[in-house]
Structure 1
Amino acid sequence: MKGIKKAIGFLGLSLLLVAPIASAARVTLDQVIAVVNTEALMQSELDSKLDAVYQNLKQRNIPAPPKEVVREQVLDRLVLDTIQMQMAAQSGMQVSDAQLSQAISNVAQQNKLSVAQFRQVLEQQGISFANVQEQISRELLISQLRQRRVGERIKISEQEIDSLISQEKSVLNSTDFHLQQMTFGIADKATPQQVAETEQKAQQVYQQLLNGEDFNQLAIRSSNDDFALQGGDMGWRRGSELPIFIADQVLSLAINDVTLPLRSPAGFHIIKLVEKRGGPSKLVNETLARHILISPTALRTDAEARQLINKLRERVEAGEDFAQLAQTYSDDKGSASDGGLLGWAPAGQFVPAFDAAMNNTSINGLSPVFKSNFGWHIIRVEGRRTQDIGAQVMRDQARQQLFKRKFDTELDNWLREIKASAYIDIR
């Protein structure tokens, strides 16, 4: 089951979060290798991340660069992740049990396994399921922090939305690109000489690519963005969501072509086109529903949870208000305050058990009691529609596309800023 370890980094934040297999051969004493603000980073933690990176490179058939290069990249990522976890803690951010369960379920589904089967396979490979849970929880926290802190820096004008809508039928909007990237970052107050030196380095790497050197290797060795330890792999991106400086170039690339070094506010970039695919957009069937979730807890057994949800269903059938009961009893805190309302959702957005129950419930109907990996549910379906590209929907989509287009560039800037403002002592 080779794909499991790769899939654990499902949010794309960090391949350092892949669960490593403990090395019985390593017996050296632990020691502090860095201090980040007031937190000490230990050699054992770095060794664990290095093991994970080497395993991932081996699975992807990417030859490992020199150890000192990988160590520097991994330590830099470990420092950045530590800063972000500290910021999340200071902001009081937490990952709910429901969010963590959904994320683990998603990883299991990517590997075509149930959660129980996923856990069993991990244990067979010598990987602690508890460690995987902790790592996925960290990844979710970092993602939430980035969405909040980077998102609030991104400004989108109505004029930008109008401009994007006017291009709705362009090739870029109907094409997806699988890209790799190398970034050569420039500090905010870099001198002209430092900018010139960074550009020269990017040009040298570009020449190495033209001479046949491997993009994956060079990215791990030379790039300093969030994709470096993945060999620069950005995954699939919709053309309309790409940063402008990439979007302007990508349509002219043939498969496996690379761009000349491109300038952005973050520095210089080299982009490689791995694959592309395209096609017209399609209509989407959506359902508007409310639900009540009753989960087993340390104080409530699974049987008691099922008994409670059955009683709540009887109360709804007797005429009590579904939304009021959801506000009072539902364990899904994200929707409970809204009367259990989930909003308009396309098929496939929820876990299979929930999707199946929702799709089999008629409009204004009440689902039977059913169980998912979150607990016991009932659903009331309030409407169904086939979503067309209406004016407001188109504007919402355009806003989202512009947000994604700007996010990566702003993320690079933000990561540099938080690193520059932190106290970092590498031992």
Structure 2
Amino acid sequence: MKRVAQACLVMGLTLGSVFPVHAAREALDKVVAVVNKEALMQTELDTRMDSVYQNLRQRNITPPPREQLRQQVLDRLILDTVQIQQANLSGIKVDEQQLASAIASVARQNKMTTAQFRRLLERQGLPFSVVQEQIGRELLINELRQRRVGQRIHISDQEVDIFLSQQKSELNSTDYHLQQITLNLPDKATPQQVAEVESKARKAYQQLIDGEDFAQLAIRISDDDFALEGGDSGWRRGSELPVLIADQALVLDINELTQPLRSPTGFHIVKLLEKRGGLSKLITETQARHILISPTALRTEAEARKLISSLRERVKNGEDFAELASNYSDDKGSAGDGGSLGWAGPGKFVPEFETAMNNTPVDGISPVFRSPFGFHIIQVNGRRSQDIGRQVLLDQARQQLYKRKFDTELENWLREIRSAAYVEIR
């Protein structure tokens, strides 16, 4: 039977989605760690171990022995738990629409509808509620990181100007697919500790030169967020990489790796897997309004579809779309502005919405269609072909600087919250 492919959520999650392989085990449970008064159980660790092994096999990476992997998985489980605790203390919530959209994204990455995805999980003995809970945890962690790490990043106009003036054209137009191994230094590391970590990094480098598999070595020893993915950090625009790594990406050949690189936080070994280039010069932007009617506990799917269909008829009969959106739309973010979504380029909306919008002519009204959020109609008010002008370039530069700083700040923040937490390994 086909197994569900591992997939990262498309909203910027840095942790891979982990689907449980067993909902429960017959063996007696026991506590393996305590994190700020919360007990982590052996069954939870075993489930996470099974999931990591399944993920590695699907990526054609030979898994290491379980005992070698256990500490890495336990460390990740502890760190995830600390982040979930902080999210809960901060009052961060995942609403039904966010969860539905995330599940739909995972289903699409597995080339299925949400309904097909659910049926496949059930055939495999995976309760849909358990998968929902895990995806919800991923969303919580992502939202917490965006808030906590994001507030630590400050980008001045001067930085943007310098970035644009110094930016290498090759970095700007090239995407890199990298693997990396990171060996962190302790806070306020002594010269002896630095020497010890550097020695470990040089030993790892020699193992790779001697033929050791990069992915397996990363799983065993790497300290960063990509360890359990075999060090695979995915595709990244060159200008979004930390400067230390970006400079190396420019000169590496495919499958070449760096010697250990020293950064303020540790030592890094980077391998270039692939690269690709090209920036589009023009984008098509659409200006549109929409009305969303969502099924609820008090409104069935049939009733929601009937209401949105009646609203579409009223628009066709001459009633003002904006006024109807203000009075009826369940998208509270746009309803106050008559359903206006402003000018939007490709990739801003979920695929169902973007397809319907792109297929609707200017001054036209879309048919009723379904998205993960409910039933919609769209009114397209205009289209334009937008060149990448000065403001767009500034926005892109700011985003790239943000992403470049995010990884470094994330690493620092994770170390801080981990060291501040009470953790007892049993």
**TM-score normalised by structure 1 residue count:** 0.93
Post-superposition Cα deviations, 1:181-218, rounded to whole Å, max 9, x if no partner, equal 11111233222221221111111111111111110111
- Aligned residue in 2 for 1:134: 133
**Are the aligned partners of 1:37 and 1:422 in contact in 2 as well (CA < 8 Å)?**
yes
Post-superposition Cα deviations, 1:38-77, rounded to whole Å, max 9, x if no partner, equal 3211111111101101111222222222322311111111
Return closer, same or farther for 1:158/1:221 CA change in 2, 3 Å cut-off: same
Whole-angstrom distance in 2 between the partners of 1:100 and 1:338: 25
Deviation at 1:9, TM superposition (A): 5.8
Deviation at 1:316, TM superposition (A): 4.4
**TM-score normalised by structure 2 residue count:** 0.93
- Aligned residue in 2 for 1:218: 217
Match of 2:64, SS state, is coil
After superposition, where does 1:247-326 map in structure 2 within 5 Å? Answer: 247-316=246-315, 322-326=321-325
* 2:4 partner letter: I
- Aligned residue in 1 for 2:194: 195
- Aligned residue in 1 for 2:370: 371
Whole-angstrom distance in 2 between the partners of 1:404 and 1:61: 29
Whole-angstrom distance in 2 between the partners of 1:23 and 1:312: 45
Gaps of 5+ in 2: none
Between stretches 285-294 and 307-316, larger displacement belongs to 307-316
Whole-angstrom distance in 2 between the partners of 1:261 and 1:338: 54
Match of 1:181, SS state, is strand
Return closer, same or farther for 1:328/1:37 CA change in 2, 3 Å cut-off: farther
Return closer, same or farther for 1:342/1:167 CA change in 2, 3 Å cut-off: farther
* 2:37 partner letter: T
Whole-angstrom distance in 2 between the partners of 1:265 and 1:206: 19
**Are the aligned partners of 2:216 and 2:230 in contact in 1 as well (CA < 8 Å)?**
yes
Whole-angstrom distance in 2 between the partners of 1:137 and 1:214: 33
* 1:21 partner letter: V
Whole-angstrom distance in 1 between the partners of 2:334 and 2:76: 35
Post-superposition Cα deviations, 1:249-302, rounded to whole Å, max 9, x if no partner, equal 111111111111112222111101011111243311121222121111111111
Between stretches 102-111 and 394-403, larger displacement belongs to 102-111
**Are the aligned partners of 1:8 and 1:136 in contact in 2 as well (CA < 8 Å)?**
no
Deviation at 1:318, TM superposition (A): 6.1
- Aligned residue in 2 for 1:146: 145
**Are the aligned partners of 1:73 and 1:220 in contact in 2 as well (CA < 8 Å)?**
yes
- Aligned residue in 1 for 2:408: 409
After superposition, where does 1:59-70 map in structure 2 within 5 Å? Answer: 59-70=58-69
Gaps of 5+ in 1: none
- Aligned residue in 2 for 1:13: 14
Whole-angstrom distance in 1 between the partners of 2:193 and 2:208: 23
Does residue 394 of the first structure (1) align with residue 393 of the second (2)?
A: yes
- Aligned residue in 2 for 1:233: 232
**Are the aligned partners of 1:265 and 1:409 in contact in 2 as well (CA < 8 Å)?**
no
After superposition, where does 1:63-142 map in structure 2 within 5 Å? Answer: 63-142=62-141
Post-superposition Cα deviations, 1:113-153, rounded to whole Å, max 9, x if no partner, equal 22222222222222222222211111111111111111111
* 2:212 partner letter: E
* 2:289 partner letter: R
Match of 1:404, SS state, is helix
- Aligned residue in 1 for 2:46: 47
Whole-angstrom distance in 1 between the partners of 2:226 and 2:411: 11
Whole-angstrom distance in 2 between the partners of 1:335 and 1:205: 53
Return closer, same or farther for 1:155/1:306 CA change in 2, 3 Å cut-off: same
Between stretches 377-386 and 49-58, larger displacement belongs to 377-386
**Are the aligned partners of 1:2 and 1:59 in contact in 2 as well (CA < 8 Å)?**
no
- Aligned residue in 2 for 1:356: 355
* 1:7 partner letter: A
* 1:211 partner letter: D
Whole-angstrom distance in 2 between the partners of 1:230 and 1:247: 21
Match of 1:182, SS state, is strand
* 1:145 partner letter: L
Deviation at 1:405, TM superposition (A): 0.9
Whole-angstrom distance in 1 between the partners of 2:140 and 2:77: 15
Between stretches 182-191 and 306-315, larger displacement belongs to 306-315
Identity %: 67
Match of 1:365, SS state, is coil
Whole-angstrom distance in 2 between the partners of 1:267 and 1:395: 32
Whole-angstrom distance in 2 between the partners of 1:9 and 1:286: 25
Between stretches 162-171 and 105-114, larger displacement belongs to 162-171
Between stretches 346-355 and 291-300, larger displacement belongs to 346-355
